[in-house]
Amino acid sequence: MNEKGQGLDVLLTETRRFAPPEHFKEGAVVSDRGLYESASADRLAFWESWAEKLDWFERWHTVLEWDPPHAKWFVGGKLNVSHNCLDRHLNGPRRNKLALIWEGEPGDVREYTYEGLHREVCQFANALKGLGVGKGDRVAIYLPMIPEAAIAMLACTRIGAPHSVVFGGFSPESLADRINDVGAKALITADGGYRRGGIIPLKENADKALESCTTIENVVVVARGADLTAKVDAHMREGRDHWYHELIADASADCAPEVMDAEDLLYILYTSGTTGKPKGVVHTTGGYLTQVAATMQCVFDLREDDIYWCTADVGWVTGHSYIVYGPLANGATVLMYEGGPDWPEKDRFWDLCEKYGVTIFYTAPTAIRAFMKWGEEWPDKHDLSKLRLLGSVGEPINPEAWMWYHRVVGKERCPIVDTWWQTETGAIMITPLPAVTETRPGSATHPFPGISVTLLDDAGAEVEAGFLAITEPWPSMLRTIYGDDERYRETYWSKWDGIYFPGDGAKRDDDGYLWLLGRVDDVLSVAGHRIGTMEVESALVDHPAVVEAAVVGKSHDVKGEVIAAFVTLKGGKDGDDDLVVELKKHVVEKIGAIARPETVIFAADLPKTRSGKIMRRLLKDVAEGKALGDMTTLADPAVVEQLKAQYEAKEG
Ligand code: 7RM
């Protein structure tokens, strides 16, 4: 299958199977395969039925207009996102239900009912209007994980002003680039936020960024809290800067939602590829909310009394879709937490789960592997018996990390939904349905109903392992790259005709399960075999001493490439030469000699993006002895510098 070097070689087989527990099936949102059947019988009618569950001011006349690569969904329909997330819950018992439970890193707590959240969103929407922000004006949001982040997003949607949220961990320069690219008229920030005991000086960063921005007319500053606000000088600039609490105090709580077209811009969110400047991913209103609301309900089996916690930051798409829009559109109770998982101790997440009775917990493999590194004693200190469903997103989850999550966090009682999707897809695309799908550790299983996925080679022929491809448009798909439609076509639609290319490799097993194998830019090419990084890394993580691994190819005269493995051990320990030999042997036993690492380096930490994805490109530079490439997307440059020094010492 791989003669032309176009597909991928399949190495690892995983035979463990987990059927949905009987107790879980009772009263499940989706309890049989009917949803798959109705979606495959009539995909557009299926999506239309989900759109009908939202509140529309005017119904659409056409479900889909598809002029590849441009899609319009629910054409002619009119709605408002904040109305769907708030107003429509106010006429029944949800009025007094908690919409948001928030805990700050220092332990301060705030709670909002749907009525309370609605009031504050309306007030802030009016405040923004008072600053001259109107329909179509872009608003940049640069906030910590505080309730005002969700409030600001919802207030923007209420007045039809597209938002662009910039993760609070980004530098002034990154913030300025995004503000300028989007031409934002207003900026919403805070004096600061807490992270691992320290203070992130957001306003100071914002002021630096604004030195190179010309479009911002007003800056709204949230006072994070008396303690922090006393320590940080916000340097409020007369005429430009306004305290959030002062604006709110004077604002009316009466604000009619703007009537938006289904295809009006909802938000722009920047995503950085491997090279080049970040892309402003454009999402619109009706299709986005439809798919986000549908997946929220079905994938997370969301029920009225759930306490739902997604640990992402609102600065990432996961925060947009599954902290704010998906849960609130469904009237859920959302837990939001400001700080780090290991502050003040490594059990903060489990403490929060216990304290608030979290029932649904959604996190990333990078976090799960950190928990594995820290040890089972931390979750074991807490009563996690309220948990009933676990989710994973962001990277392929190695089978052993999946098993750990299942056993130590889920106590072998909770189904796990491994959800594959992207900033660009807007919502979950490949995932189990927890009461229906038998899961397999490391497999995201099947496309969500109404989503059409296949595996192709370069020439567009179907293969059992190769490039993941999405063959039909879907409601929450990105519509373009902001200001650069050419780049949109080139990046996602130029590989095959009318088919979306997400940039990931995947395989299908004999039962039709999908296994994501990592980014295709990272694929290894050893002696003519193309191997996804995921399988070799999973073989390493399968060894009892290992919690995390990243493999890269290193040029070799004869073999093309040989494999260099960077490995983190349990408890962050260092390994010796015997362990190197053992790990190589372990990989050979698990998947074969072809995947035998040539070099194994023990790494206390691996280089990651700010959202926690392993950056193999930089490890490749280390392995090749090259100067380190673009490090701007890296969370902590020291990690890779340290590895470079270590590698050079070892390789001489
Ligand atoms: C939601 C998000 C997208 C990339 C994507 C993949 C990787 C995400 C999974 C996954 C394997 C998963 N958006 N990815 N989820 N790989 N299994 N369940 O992460 O735009 O930041 O990243 O993340 O490579 O293309 S994102």
For 368-391, write each residue's pLDDT tens digit.
999 999 999 999 999 999 999 999
Q: Is the CB of 318 under 6 A from ligand 1?
A: yes
**pLDDT of 443 over the 60 cut:** yes
**pLDDT tier at 633, thresholds 50, 70, 90:** confident
**pLDDT tier at 572, thresholds 50, 70, 90:** confident
Max distance between CA atoms of the chain, in angstroms, equals 73
Among protein residues, the one whose CA lies closest to atom 11 of ligand 1: 396
**pLDDT of 5 over the 50 cut:** no
Residues 261 and 169 placed together within one structural domain of the fold: yes
Is 5 contained in some domain? Answer: no
**pLDDT tier at 276, thresholds 50, 70, 90:** confident
Is 414 contained in some domain? Answer: yes
Tell me the C-alpha distance between 192 and 174, whole Å.
Answer: 17
Q: Is the CB of 363 under 6 A from ligand 1?
A: no
| Mean pLDDT estimate for the chain | 96
For 92-106, write each residue's pLDDT tens digit.
999 999 999 999 999
Residues 490 and 544 placed together within one structural domain of the fold: no
Decide: helix, strand or coil at residue 85.
Answer: helix
Which structural domain range is residue 412 located in?
22-505
As beta bridge partners, residue 73 has 64
Is 9 contained in some domain? Answer: no
Q: Is the CB of 313 under 6 A from ligand 1?
A: no
Nearest atom, ligand 1, residue 316 CA: 21
For 407-418, write each residue's pLDDT tens digit.
999 999 999 999
Q: Which residue has the tokens 């791989």?
A: 2
Q: Is the CB of 535 under 6 A from ligand 1?
A: no
CA nearest neighbour of 141 among 129, 154, 160 = 154
Is 624 contained in some domain? Answer: yes
371 C-alpha to ligand 1 centroid (Å): 20
- 39, 447 Cβ separation under 8 angstroms: no
What's the confidence (pLDDT) of residue 66? Answer: 98
Total domain count, the chain: 2
Residues 501 and 550 placed together within one structural domain of the fold: no
Among protein residues, the one whose CA lies closest to atom 19 of ligand 1: 394
Packing angle, helices 286-299 and 43-51, rounded to 10: 90
504 C-alpha to ligand 1 centroid (Å): 9
Q: What is the β-pairing status of strands 333-337 and 98-103?
A: parallel
Tell me the C-alpha distance between 495 and 469, whole Å.
Answer: 10
Span 22-51, average pLDDT? 97
Span 449-471, average pLDDT? 97
For 141-163, write each residue's pLDDT tens digit.
999 999 999 999 999 999 999 99
What's the confidence (pLDDT) of residue 51? Answer: 99
As beta bridge partners, residue 198 has 195
Span 224-243, average pLDDT? 95
Q: Is the CB of 347 under 6 A from ligand 1?
A: no
Residues 473 and 527 placed together within one structural domain of the fold: no
Q: Cα–chain-centroid distance for residue 278?
A: 16
Is 471 contained in some domain? Answer: yes
Q: Is the CB of 395 under 6 A from ligand 1?
A: yes
**pLDDT tier at 274, thresholds 50, 70, 90:** low
| Residue 518 CB contacts under 8 Å (≥ 6 apart), including other chains | 396, 504, 505, 532, 533, 534
Ligand 1 pocket check: which of 516, 535, 537 to mutate, most ligand atoms within 8 Å of Cβ? 516
Please count the other Cβ atoms lying within 10 Å of the Cβ belonging to residue 651.
Answer: 13
Residues 241 and 352 placed together within one structural domain of the fold: yes
61 C-alpha to ligand 1 centroid (Å): 34
Decide: helix, strand or coil at residue 380.
Answer: helix
Residues 157 and 255 placed together within one structural domain of the fold: yes
Tell me the C-alpha distance between 603 and 38, whole Å.
Answer: 49
Is 616 contained in some domain? Answer: yes
Residues 79 and 40 placed together within one structural domain of the fold: yes
Element housing 392 (H / E): strand 389-392
H helices of 418-532, where? 485-493
Tell me the C-alpha distance between 591 and 593, whole Å.
Answer: 7
pTM over 0.95: yes
Residues 619 and 532 placed together within one structural domain of the fold: yes
149 C-alpha to ligand 1 centroid (Å): 23
CATH number at residue 77: 3.40.50.12780
- 308, 360 Cβ separation under 8 angstroms: yes
CATH number at residue 613: 3.30.300.30
Residues 528 and 383 placed together within one structural domain of the fold: no
| CA geometry: angle 403, 409, 410, nearest 5 deg | 75
